[in-house]
Amino acid sequence: NISESSQSNETFSESIIPPILQGSFGIFGNLFALFLLFYHSKIHRWGPFYRFICALAITDFLGLLFHYPVAITRYASNFKFEFPMEFCYFDTFLFSFSFLSSAMIVCAMSCDRFFAVKYPLIYRSASHKTKRLLTAIWIFSAVVASFPLLGFGSVELYYPRTWCFINFASRRRLDRINTYFYSCLCLLVLLVTVVTNVAVIYSICNLDKSDLILSSEIDRKKRKIEETYIVTLMMTIVILFSVCWIPLVVRMLINASASDPKNGPDELLAVRMTISNAIVDPWIYIILRKENLVKMSKLVQRVRNSDHLPTIFITRESKATRACGVSNPSTPPTCSTQL
């Protein structure tokens, strides 16, 4: 059940601009990323990494699409529109599912790169199982998100009563157990993601020394370029994922261990940070696409190899000119200079 604290009459002064911007950029960005993925499908041929990117964009897109129209309606009504209880349960499931499944997909992307670099032979034999892994992630996330709906914990309508989530603002034991389980699960996923990415970066830096499978130097260079691109994209996603996720997990743990848990602006800021991850992810892919990085790399290389730089030639006559202190090189020097 929704707690009584969320049903009290309150006045709010929150601006409608942040949810409109977040909703617009998030929905449009994920939709555009999906368009690019399908448009360039002949190039990447739907390799495992790009399947994960597509699944991440779909998950984030649906989560934002179903939540923001109703939330913006409450902002537009000057907070007079009240969420129906049924939508609050749905919103709790939606947030719990999309947050956890997005985190696990990012983790799966990191593990995918780890096995591709460290154990290429094993990876090639198991790379066709990406669809099964994504299905398992979505099923597991749906089960965990269903806990409050099945009575393991409850749902809460949070400040300014525009979003619902698992009740981590409660002092009841079952709610706290559910909060600890969800937050610790997210921390575990984050830890695995960071560790695997560090291992991948270390392997990429030593690829020329350790890669004995590829026979030619050209093949090694091509693979290193490909892996470097994917690691650059992955590290950007993981860093932003960590920055955006940690505030909500910390707020959940603080509230679960506090004698007087809060439901206010701090919780709103934390969930907005988490939602920002779903908004930024597609734009990272759009900006850091391989084609864009290749163009930037070629531009940098062209600047480095440019021969249109001023060149100074020192002749014997110029030495003589400087030695005699003559300002006009056309005038013969008047002093004696031994050349």
Q: What's the rounded Cα separation, in Å, for the pair 309 and 307? A: 5
Question: What pLDDT is stored for residue 129 in this prediction?
Answer: 84
Q: Which of 198-202, 274-278, 304-308 has the highest mean pLDDT?
A: 274-278
Average pLDDT over residues 108-121: 85
What was the pLDDT predicted at 222?
Answer: 67
pLDDT at 339 (0 to 100): 33
Q: 44 or 328: which carries more pLDDT confidence?
A: 44
Q: What is the pLDDT of residue 251?
A: 92
- How is 120-157 classified by DSSP, letter by letter? HHHHHHHGGGHHHHHHHHHHHHHHHHTTGGGTSS-EEE
pLDDT tens figures, 142-192? 999 999 989 898 999 999 999 999 999 888 999 999 999 999 999 999 999
CB 59 within 8 A of CB 53: no
- pTM beyond 0.75: the answer is yes
What whole-number distance in Å separates Cα of residue 240 and Cα of residue 228? 18
Q: What domains are defined for the chain?
A: 4-304 (1.20.1070.10), 311-339 (no CATH)
- The answer, yes or no, to whether residue 309 has pLDDT greater than 50, is no
Which pLDDT band, with edges at 50, 70 and 90, does 311 fall under?
very low
User: What is the pLDDT, as a whole number, of residue 83?
Assistant: 86
